Amino acid sequence: MNFSKKMKSFTATIEVSKSPQIVFNSITNDVAKWWGGPDLAGNSANLNDEFTVSHPGAHYSKQKLVEVVRDKKVVWLVTESTLNWLQKDKHEWTDTKMIFNISIEGNKTILNFTHEGLFPEKECYAMCSKGWNTVLNDYLYNLITENKAHF
């Protein structure tokens, strides 16, 4: 993927006063608490783990962990997807990647999220970027900072 396409993908950043270990564990071990809830099935902690999120009639996606660097990075490859509310291509998420980069700046931990392949030109971009902002900035943030599960 060329650099310009990666730059156009949806991104979000969270800054917290928690350790990289807490951020990493929240992303990998607690996905059901911040994304998916009771509609999540499978495993999401180790390389090659696979899990699905299914909200019947609205969203289905299957993710595979294709890169895991403890306390630093997690990459999910979307191997299957159906976004039922889309008109043109209900499988827009298939073959996209969700990338979680964790770093330290001073006494803060920074989580940079990129949904690589979720471009502004995609039909789902407006709704999906709004959804990701809520999921990341509210649900995941509250889990990391307050250990408060959304689901």
Return the CATH number at 35: 3.30.530.20
Distance (Å, whole) CA 150 – CA 139: 6
pLDDT at 2 over 50: no
Given a cut of 50, whether residue 134 has pLDDT beyond it is yes
Domain holding 122, by residue range, is: 3-146
How do residues 104-127 score in pLDDT, each as one tens digit? 999 999 999 999 999 999 999 999
Say if residue 49's pLDDT is above 80: yes
pLDDT of residue 38: 84
Closest CA to 144 of 58, 60, 54, 18: 18
Residue 151 domain-assigned (yes or no): no
Instruction: Count the domains in the chain.
Output: 1
Give how far Cα 105 sits from Cα of 16, 58, 67, 80, Å. Answer: 10, 38, 23, 35
Residue 109 lies in a domain: yes
- Specify if 108 maps to a domain: yes
Can you give the pLDDT at residue 7? 56
The whole-number average pLDDT for the span 119-148 is: 95
pTM: 0.93
**Residue 76: pLDDT over 80:** yes
Domain for residue 132, yes or no? yes
